Amino acid sequence: MRVTYVLGPNINAPMSPDAGPKVQDALGRAQALRDGTKPSDGQSPIHPSDGSLLQIARLILGGEIAAKRKQTSRAIALLREAVVLEDQQNYDEPPSWYVSTRLVLGAIYLQARKPEAAERVYREDLLVFPSNGWALFGLAQALEAQGKRTQAAQVRVEFERAWTNADVELTASRFM
pLDDT digit string, tens, across residues 82-110:
999 999 988 888 888 888 999 999 999 99
pTM over 0.85: no
Enumerate residue ranges in the chain where pLDDT < 70.
1-50, 176
Could you give the domains of the chain?
A: 3-35 (no CATH), 50-162 (1.25.40.10)
How far is Cα of residue 59 from the mean position of the Cα atoms in its chain? Answer: 10
Q: At what angle do helices 72-87 and 101-111 cross, to 10 degrees?
A: 160
pLDDT score, position 66: 93
Cβ atoms of 140 and 155 within 8 Å: the answer is yes
Q: CA 127, 90, 116: angle at the middle one, nearest 5?
A: 30
User: Strands 14-15, 3-4: parallel, antiparallel or unpaired by DSSP?
Assistant: antiparallel
